[in-house]
Amino acid sequence: MDYAELEQLYVISERKIKEVDTTFHRYLYSLINWDNRIIGIKGNGGVGKTTLVLQHIKESFADRSKVLYVRLDNMWFKTHDLMDLVEYHYTHGGTHIFLDEVHRLHGWANYIKSMYDDYNDLHVVYTGSSMLEISQQEADLGRRQRVYTLNGMSFREYLQFEGYDVGEAISLEELLTNHTQIASSICEGKKILPLFDAYLQHGCYPFYREAGDGFFERLHGVILHVIENDLPQVEDISYTTIEKIKRMLMILAERVPLMPKMAELYRELETNRENGNRMLALLTKAGLLALFSHEVINLNSLNKPDKIYLNNPNLMYCLSSHIDKGTLRETFFYDQLRNVTEVLLPKKGDFWLNREYLFEVGGKSKTFDQIKDEPKSFLAIDDVETGHFNRIPLWMFGMLY
């Protein structure tokens, strides 16, 4: 293949690498073992997967001739084959290739398997939708690769992004035993509660800064892109079903936290239980909903969840016409904690962490009345900077990653 046919891809790659800002890194950046030959990075739309890989390239490759970054939604791939690009890059000294938006290419898993099998020292990093499911049966990639998931920004990351030095992430056990001292240290020199309110509105997605006043418009665009473009790339799904999925999301956005009567919901959507459960699972895999139950939920064989939330607080502000304060608190708590530990719905209280710690979430007047006789019980209290004993400020649960 003539370099003239590829030159624009290399020009775009170099420009993207040069332009990326490296002053702030997402939590996952330091956790990835970049020496693995195949690395997958999954995540919801807008959480920063592209920025993460471009930062790694910029900071790790002095010799740019060895590396190529390419988006697989580039129109070049409509008339060219990915393996021709790989062959050219490898035979001209390339050692690493970064494939962004991999779910845009039909049969992508087989392509990556071929790269692993046919190019013994080529390193491949790909990013893709959170909906991607890579199993041992799909191109036999399971044993060859390491897959990471990039979650939305935590409150700790948001503070760092805003220029505040709040230190490293803390463990849940550190938080439960030493929260008063930790809170005092973090709050020194800053008003934490207004920052927390701002985070709840726009801080889960790092693009909030460049979007400015257009944040919710951009987030709405991300939501539509995920449903209208990413879903059909990953699932065999009809236009009619896509429209029903949009309607389901908007119905649930107005009713969260829903203790669902699924039969009524599915009748309203004019669908059956099987299709309704599938749509619910897809919205969850897409990072738009968060299902909550007494036991761990298997999205591939979904039964009725006990509770449904939107995936994070920003989505509430984007999709809901009315923000219920209690629901907002619970959505934040569930979003932050399920990224670091098991969270189940208890018989008493609001949340059961790691099948050990029982939590109620509420405002500053919240009491232990509902869980007063339960061992290892705690309150997550909103609108306070510091707590005492088993009363822990709600914002602190955003410091865990």
Residue 2, pLDDT > 80, answer no
Provide the token pair at 48: 């920063």
The 10s digit of each residue's pLDDT in 265-295 is 899 999 999 999 999 999 999 999 999 999 9
Give the tokens for residue 22.
């490296």
Instruction: Answer whether residue 111 shows pLDDT above 70.
Output: yes
Strands of the sheet containing 343-344, edge to edge, are 343-344, 351-353, 357-362, 377-381, 391-393
Q: What is the pLDDT of residue 122?
A: 98
Q: Above pLDDT 70, what percent of the chain?
A: 97
* Model confidence pLDDT, tens digit, residues 170-224: 999 999 999 999 999 999 999 999 999 999 999 999 999 999 999 999 999 999 9
pLDDT tens-digit readout, 216-267: 999 999 999 999 999 998 899 999 999 999 999 999 999 888 776 888 889 9
DSSP-based three-state secondary structure for 239: helix
Average pLDDT over residues 377-384: 98
Give the model's pLDDT for residue 327: 96
| 138/162: higher pLDDT | 162
Per-residue confidence at 143, pLDDT binned at 50, 70, 90?
confident
Separation in Å, CA 322 to CA 112, 194, 200 = 45, 20, 14
In this predicted structure, what is the pLDDT of residue 256?
85
User: Measured between alpha carbons, how far is residue 44 from residues 35, 57, 150 in Å?
Assistant: 24, 21, 8
Sheet with strand 67-71: strands edge to edge: 67-71, 96-100, 123-129, 38-43, 146-150
Q: Chain-wide mean pLDDT for the chain?
A: 94
Q: Give the confidence band of 138 by pLDDT, cuts at 50, 70, 90.
A: low
Q: Are strands 351-353 and 146-150 parallel, antiparallel or unpaired?
A: unpaired
**Amino acid at position 55, single letter:** Q
Q: Does position 137 have pLDDT exceeding 50, yes or no?
A: no
pLDDT at residue 130 tops 70: yes
Residue 72 makes CB contacts below 8 A (sequence gap 6+) with 82, 99, 100, 101, 102, 104, 105, 108
pLDDT at 136: 43
Nearest to 45, CA basis, from 288, 302, 396: 288
pLDDT tens, 336-360? 999 999 999 999 999 999 999 999 9
The predicted structure's pLDDT at residue 87: 97
**Amino acid at the residue 303:** N
What is the per-residue pLDDT for 292? 93
For residues 349 and 301, the answer to whether their CB atoms sit within 8 Å is no
If you compute the radius of gyration of the chain from its CA atoms, what whole number of angstroms results? Answer: 22
Strand partners, 308: 258, 291
Cis peptide before 313 (omega within 30 of 0): no
Task: Say whether pLDDT at 134 is over 70.
Answer: no
Report how far residue 81's alpha carbon sits from residue 211's, in angstroms, rounded to the nearest whole number: 35
Of the candidates 160, 182, 3, 204, the one whose C-alpha atom is nearest the C-alpha of residue 85 is: 3
Q: Tell me what the mean pLDDT of segment 312-327 comes to.
A: 96
Distance, C-alpha 232 to centroid of its chain: 19
What is the distance between the alpha carbons of residues 292 and 360, in angstroms, rounded to a whole number? 15
- Report how far residue 153's alpha carbon sits from residue 355's, in angstroms, rounded to the nearest whole number: 25
**Buried/exposed 248-287: b ≥16 CB within 10 Å, e otherwise:** bbeebbeebbbebebeebbeebebeeeebbbbbbbbbbbb
How confident is residue 88, by pLDDT bands cut at 50, 70 and 90?
A: very high
* DSSP H or E stretch at residue 277: helix 273-285
Domains and CATH numbers, the chain: 3-150 (3.40.50.300), 157-398 (no CATH)
Percentage above 90 pLDDT, the chain: 87
Burial of 371 (0-12, 13-18, 19+ CB in 10 A): buried
For helices 239-255 and 273-285, the axis angle rounded to 10 degrees is 70
What phi, psi does 70 have (nearest 5°)? -145, 140
**Strand pairing category for 351-353 and 343-344:** antiparallel
